[in-house]
Each structure stands twice: as C-alpha cells, then as structure tokens.
Amino acid sequence: MADSQDNVLNLLKKSEEFLKKKNIPSARLDAEILLADLLKIQRVKLYIDFERPLSVSEKDEYRERIVQRSKFRPTAYIIGKKAFFDSEFQVNESVLIPRPETEELVAWILEEYSQKDSSLNALDLCSGSGCIGISLAKARRNWQVSFSDLSTEAIEMNRKNIQEILNSEDRFQLYQGDLFSSLPGENQFDLIVSNPPYIPESEKPSIMPDVAEYEPHLALFVQDFENFHKRILIEALPFLKPNGVLYLETHPKYAGWLKETALSLGYSEAISKRDLSGRDSFVRLKRA
C-alpha cells in the first residue's frame, strides 16, 4: 500500500516548498501544472483527488520535473506545450513560449477584421511556434496564412502545430529564411503580423533566468533595434498590398520611434496600442 506521504496533496506541498527555496516564482502553480500534466488530468482535478497515491514511477518522473523547474527551466518546455488563445501549442527550446500579451495582439487584429467570412492573405513573420498565424487562421477560416522564420527548427515546430491544431496544410505556406528573403517576390499580403526579436542585447542582464537561459536568443534579442526594425519596415512595403497593414509587437520604449520611422518611409498611417499593463507594446502601420 502506498505511503500517505506519496499522495497528491503531500507531494504538491513538498514540491511547492522546494521550488520556493530555489526562488522560483509561482511555485505552487508550477507544481500543480507539472503534476496535472504527468497524471493527464486537468489541474482542477488535483483538488478533487488530493488523496490519490502516486506510483513509484510517477513519483520519480514528477521529482525529475520539479528538479528541472528548480533550475529555472520553463514549465512549458518541461511539458512540451503552452496554451495560447484557444489552442494548445507544442513548444521546445527552438521557439519562444507564447505570451499572454501576444494574445492581445491576436485579439486586436480579429477585432479589426471582424467579418468572419471575408478572405485575405496574411503573413506571420518571425513566426516561431506559429501561435499568431495559426490563431488567426483558426478564427478566420477563409484567410490564406503564410509563415516565415529564420530557424529551420522553428519552422518544423510551426508545421507540427498547423497539423495538430488546423488538421490541414492546404491553406498554408511556410518559408525558412531571414525575414522576407525566402518569399516569392510576387507575394503580396493584406496583412503582415510579426513578433520579432525586440529586446536590446544591453537588457540581457535584467531578463529573468528562465527566459535568458532557456528561450532562443535568436528570437528574443536584437543587437541594433533601430537597424533591424528599419529593415522590417522597408522590406515589408513591397509585400504589402495598397492599404495593407503591418502589425508589430514591440518594445514599449521604441513604439514612438517605429511610428515616426514608418511615416518617414512612406507608410500612410501609424498608431500604437497599449497592452493590459499599460505599455505601448503594439503598433499598426498602414501602407499607402
């Protein structure tokens, strides 16, 4: 018979205490997510069955997960998935973990393009896991969505998520290359959306260790923000249809610079939007 110390309640308590000692934020939540995933149940079900004993193999695997988390490895990478918008995306260290603020960007676009039966061409640039483009395609079934990323591994993860979440690749093109370099020159889009690397390398020391030590630096950090983003603005123009729109998630410090630069390059309209925490995290730029 299993020891009562091996039940859900006690193992959660011990794991929470251990993670707190290691200065892991949200220790209790992480302990619950890791255990619920291991037992293949919803997190709320843990509270219904607190006395459930774990087998020796379950205990060993749970302990290994907690040790990984204690070393700041993100919970999403440990379980290999992350909820975003209304889907669950596969993730690994080759792609950024989808963020709640990026959900706000998706919601903003869907609000502005609210006609569900309309069709348009969209590009998810620097697509990573594909969470933005796939969420848009799931909500707007008539949209033709393409994806582009520099990383071959990211494109493969993107492809897996398309198959898993949308069950078809027919509507989707995936391109591997630096920004627009691998896209056919004749391609034009009504809408381009991007969450490109935008954290200046000078800010690396202030980034949380679970981000800085595990998430792909290629997708996070940029050596020269202004040069890189000016490239995006310039290279996007020929790929945008007249009145086409470019949406960017960005560093709040640079939202004003992005708007001014876009207008100087010939974009006809530039607005920024605050996220729920009040930061200017998004810009929308319209081609003339």
DSSP 53: B
Residues in the chain: 288
Largest CA distance in the chain: 73
What whole-number distance in Å separates Cα of residue 206 and Cα of residue 139? 36
- Give the whole-angstrom CA distance, residue 257 versus residue 5: 57
* 131-139 and 152-161 helices, crossing angle to 10°: 30
Binding residues: 149, 195-198
Scored b (16 or more CB within 10 A) or e, 141-166 reads eebbbbbbbbbeebbbbbeebbeebb
Type of residue numbered 257: W
CB neighbours of residue 131 within 10 Å? 28
Q: Which amino acid would we find at residue 145?
A: V
* Coil, helix or strand at residue 223: coil
3-state DSSP assignment of residue 74: coil
Please, which residues have CB within 8 angstroms of residue 233's CB and are 6 or more apart in sequence?
246, 258, 261, 262, 265, 267, 285
Which residue ranges make up the annotated binding site for S-adenosyl-L-methionine? 149, 195
Rounded distance, CA 187 to CA 240, Å? Answer: 9
| Binding-site residue positions for substrate | 195-198
Q: Are 156 and 179 in contact (CB under 8 A)?
A: no
